[in-house]
A = this chain, B = another copy of it.
Amino acid sequence: MTAASKTVSDVIHSHFGTLTRAEKQLAESLLDNYPVSGLGSITTIAENAGVSTPTVVRMVQKLGFKGYPDFQAHLHQEVEATISNPIAKHDRWASNAPGTHILNRFADAIMGNLRQTLSALDTATFDSVASLLSDRKRSLYFVGGRITGALAEYFFTHMQVIRPNTALLSSNSSSWPQYVLNMNPGDLLVIFDIRRYEQEMVSLATAARKRGAEIVVFTDQWGSPAAKLARHTFRIQIEAPSAWDSSVVTLFIVEALIEAVQSSTWDETKERMKTLEGLFEQTRLFRKLS
């Protein structure tokens, strides 16, 4: 049969010479953005190509398919093959490891998370947050929950090197009021709150807002309740083949932000880092001597 092992695209190409004007027009419309353009109904693709539906029927029959549904079934198969086996999906990331090894399954999941998160992420949001973080007139406060506390700490540690006026709120909420007390209008509170949202985050966000602080929230696709109070929100895909959620993509965004801030204020940062290096050296030297 004509369309047995060859792809639909191949079949179209091989018959291209025998096609009529309207059919060629249709064929080109199909090959343009192939194979997705053939996903819709016969009416849709006829309209897109600017031809009539009978033309579509005649062509697919000329190509050797039984009818439009048959044609489309073949296309679906191809789409499936393309999707379930994209170059991205390495059947084996780690050499010698079976495709089902936890490392490989994790790698697949993380790549999927990264792709989904990035395609849903608005770069304007990213750039705005980066510029808020860069503004040295604003003090920065970081806070995370039980699990995400480590991410807040990681973010804080870097920002503390890059610029002054940064603080890390302990994940224990009892000390929060003192920090809120010190917040000034325009200060920035960065909240990490993912699934198993912590009720106290909403209280903290509310209090911070009352003091005039801006809020940035890192949360998952379902959204922390604190996100409602936020100026900017990062919704991150966190699913992993695990009983736990994955923070890998969150860390990715954090690192990208760190770099964005660092490069946008490099002149000021350079001096700070030099000074800091010197301080570390002194400490080391001091210990050796003692």
Q: Are the CB atoms of B115 and A93 closer together than 8 Å?
A: yes
Which residues of A in the span 79-107 have a Cβ within 8 Å of any Cβ on B?
A: 79-88, 90, 93-97, 101-103, 106-107
Q: Which of A147, A157, A256 has most B Cβ within 10 Å?
A: A256
Q: Are the CB atoms of B252 and A110 closer together than 8 Å?
A: yes
Q: Are the CB atoms of A94 and B82 closer together than 8 Å?
A: no
Bound CA span A263–B94, Å: 20
Which residues of A in the span 238-278 have a Cβ within 8 Å of any Cβ on B?
A: 240-244, 246-248, 251-252, 255-256, 258-260, 262-263
Q: Are the CB atoms of B106 and A93 closer together than 8 Å?
A: no
Distance from A64 Cβ to chain B, minimum over Cβ atoms (Å): 15
Residue of B nearest to A10 (CB): B221
The number of chain A residues with a CB under 8 A from chain B is 75
- Checking B81, B116, B259 against A243 with a beta-carbon cut-off of 8 angstroms, the contacting residue is B259
Q: Are the CB atoms of B242 and A6 closer together than 8 Å?
A: no
- Is the C-beta of A18 less than 8 angstroms from some C-beta in chain B? no
- Is the C-beta of A120 less than 8 angstroms from some C-beta in chain B? yes
- Is the C-beta of A232 less than 8 angstroms from some C-beta in chain B? no
Bound CA span A106–B123, Å: 13
- Is the C-beta of A22 less than 8 angstroms from some C-beta in chain B? no
Which residues of A in the span 24-45 have a Cβ within 8 Å of any Cβ on B?
A: 33, 35-36, 39-40
26 contacts between A and B (CB under 8 A): A5-B120, A6-B221, A10-B221, A14-B221, A33-B80, A36-B79, A39-B39, A39-B76, A79-B79, A82-B83, A86-B87, A87-B115, A94-B121, A96-B123, A102-B259, A103-B123, A146-B157, A147-B157, A149-B157, A150-B151, A150-B153, A150-B157, A199-B284, A240-B259, A241-B259, A242-B258
Since A33-B80, A107-B118, A244-B259 are in contact, a sample of 9 more A-B pairs with Cβ atoms closer than 8 Å, ordered by chain A residue number, is A79-B83, A82-B83, A87-B115, A93-B114, A94-B121, A95-B119, A106-B252, A150-B157, A154-B247
